[in-house]
Every structure is written in C-alpha cells, then in structure tokens.
Amino acid sequence: MQADQSVTNNVKLQVGSTTQTVSVQAAAAQVDTTTATLNQVVNETQMVELPLNGRNAAALTLLVAGTAPTPSNGGGALQGIPEEFPSQITVATSGTQEDQVSYMLDGATYNDLLYSVNMPFPFPDALEEFSVQTSNYGAQYGNNSGGVVIGVTKSGTDTLHGNAFEFDRNAVFNARNFFAIPKRDQLKRNQYGFTVGGPVDIPGVYNGKDRTFFFFGFQGTRIRNVGSTSSAYVPTTAELQNGDFPTYLNASDRNNPLKKVVTLKNPATGLAYPGNIIPTTSFNSVALAMGKYLPQVSGSGVVYYVSRTIQNENEFVYRVDHSINNHDHLTFRGTWNHLYNDGYFDPGNLASLAGYSNLKAQDYLLHETHIFRPNLLNEFRFSYGREFVNRGPGPSGG
C-alpha cells in the first residue's frame, strides 16, 4: 500500500475453535460425621497475615460465628490495664457470660484462675493453630458453660528453621489526622522478636535427629504514649494552709468548682463550720502530708496535666519433643510472660498518678503418650500455672 492510496480488501471471517480452558480445583470439604460440635479452626496463615491490633491472636476468636466481644473494663470480667495482660480478652459465645469460656493450650487447661479468662495467649509466630468450639462439644470440655478455645503451639522439625520480625509504630511515620488537634498521634509501639526450632543435634555429644526437637520463641513489646490533656480540681493554697472554703457558700462564685452551695460541717458534732472555715487543728496529718504532692494553685483550684504510658512486656514460649521409642512420646512446653506498667507519676501533681502493675504469668506442661497396641493409647498430661500480680501506686508514687 502506498501513501494516500485507498484499497478495498474483502476479508472472509470464519468461526474458530475455542482454545481457552478454565480449570477450577478444590479439595473436598471435610465434614465431621462423628460429633455434633460446632467449631472453627483459626490457622497459622490467618494469625500471621490478618491485621491484628497488638498482634493478639486471641482476638481472632471473634471471627467465629456465635462469638461477640464484651466490655473488658468497668463491667466485664477484667478490671482494666493495671490488672491484665494485653492478650487477655473477654468474649461471649452463644449468649453466655464473658467469663464462661474454657481455654486449653496443648491439651491442658489455660485459664486465668482469678478472672476465668485466658492466660496470656502466645504470640502468632509461636502458635500452630487454635480451634474455637461454640456448642455441642464433648463432656471432657465441660469446665464452663461457654465455648472452648483449644490452642496448639509450634514444635521443632527435622531441619533448623526460624524467623525474626519487628513491627514499629511511631509518630515520625504518621501524618496528622485532618480532624484531630494540630499534632500527630504520639503513640510509640515497638514489637520485635524471633522464633527458632529444629532437631537437637550436638555433634559428638548427642544425635537427636528424628528423635528430639526444640522450639523457642520470644516477643518484646514496648509502648510509650502521651495522652491528651486532662484537668482536675485540687485544694487551693488558702484552703490547705488556712482551711478557708468561703467560695463554696456562693453558687455563682466563679472560684466555686461545684457551682452549688456546700456548707461544711464538723463530722463529730454535725454543726456547720462558721464561714466555712475549718480550724487547722482539725486537719488530718496524712492529708497534710499528701498536700506537698499537689501544685500550689489559687482561684478555683483547677490544674491541667498530661497522662503518660510506659509499658514493657516480654513473652517466651519454649517446647521440647522427644520420641523415647516407637511407643512413647514425651513433650515439655512452657510459657513465661512479664508485663510492667511504670505508673508514671509527676511528683508535683498527685492528680497525674497512674496505675502501676508488675505482672508475671508462668505455665508449664508435661505430656506423655504411650501406645500399648494399635487400638489402645494412653495420654498423660500434667500442667502447672502460676501468676504474680503487684499493682497499685507506682514506685515513685509511694
């Protein structure tokens, strides 16, 4: 064809054969025809790949049908941050109370005896999977009226394997929320750790390949945060030194923090103090001693302060599996958790006193399986759990 040439070319089109092939393959769904238990398994891929606030695998129990979250503070089984581990949750199954779920780890009871919730759940990289049974489970799980959560920790394999991880949240990586106050989120949370597992093989000392395996995992969490500005009313200098409370007799006085008339009375006689002035000789010595931790203010006595969070947590999971012979298999598994909340306290402002806690949780399992014959097997499990709780005012708060 040449430039600017018009050419007519009649082309005959014919229907061709289809060459595209779409193959859909899927494994047959396994149906439990033995029991009527309603359950769902949360596997390793879900624990590692799904977004988890604080990397708490226990929160994935809420993915199961028939489960619902419940209040963890104020009205729930737990009483707030100073008393609990972050991986302890409250969940209701099939309408039962939040403290009626049974937890098991590697076949042994894993319940917090104080609150009847889960002991600190292993972090996702140390868990193989866990099952959540919501109803119609067997009598061996009848410890509580709610659901049953059964977790399995990872074990070593024939080859050495492991991983390392770090998840960091910091204000330097964040943009300011358009609708927030003119500063970025100050939360700093760093979670890091590693796992390693494999055969116990010491050249020239012990050859445990195909017989003895180990697994060890660690996760550390460090949280630092600066909360929003809060306010509180404290006694003014005149009230502390002279017992002078006349502003409480005038509801319209701008220095009256209660905005209503309050007449102070002698608790021993029931008589009102003249002019709302309490004699200094009636002051409580303990209250006076605490007054030195309050800022010196006048007017209505309002003070402003910023709350701070300083929290450290360390988690360990360790396990050893040993095949004694063809008929006996022995497992030892341990978990150890330590949570420390600093309970930040500004010595010049008692109102800033935050909850302090020093929590430790330990759990150990010894499991032996013996095969007597192909149709007769015995399992023996011994578990031991221990918790240490120290909470109250921080070390700097007395």
Q: Residue 53: its pLDDT value, please?
A: 83
pLDDT higher than threshold 80 for residue 347 = no
Six-digit token pair at 171? 């204000």
Determine the 3-state secondary structure of 230 from DSSP.
Answer: strand
Q: Please, which residues have CB within 8 angstroms of residue 57's CB and are 6 or more apart in sequence?
A: 42, 47, 87, 121, 122, 123, 124, 127, 130
Ordered DSSP codes for 235-291: --HHHHHH-B-GGGG-TT-TT-TT-S----B-TTT-PBPGGGB--GGG--HHHHHHG
- pTM comes to 0.77
pLDDT higher than threshold 80 for residue 59 = yes
pLDDT higher than threshold 60 for residue 82 = no
Determine the 3-state secondary structure of 197 from DSSP.
Answer: strand
pLDDT per position as a tens digit, 300-329: 878 887 777 888 999 999 999 999 998 999
pLDDT per position as a tens digit, 164-212: 999 998 888 877 777 766 677 788 899 999 999 999 988 888 887 889 9
191 vs 8 pLDDT, higher one: 191
Q: How far is CA 180 from CA 22, 184, 186, 226, 306, in A?
A: 50, 8, 12, 15, 17
pLDDT higher than threshold 60 for residue 398 = no
Confidence of residue 6 (pLDDT cuts 50, 70, 90): low
Confidence of residue 12 (pLDDT cuts 50, 70, 90): confident
**Average pLDDT over the chain, rounded to an integer:** 84
Q: HEC string of 315-339?
A: EEEEEEEEECCCCEEEEEEEEEEEE
Average pLDDT, integer, range 216-239: 86
Q: Residue 2: its pLDDT value, please?
A: 45
Q: Residue 332: its pLDDT value, please?
A: 97
Work out whether the CA dihedral 214, 388, 165, 60 comes out positive or negative.
Answer: positive
Q: Residue 81: its pLDDT value, please?
A: 56
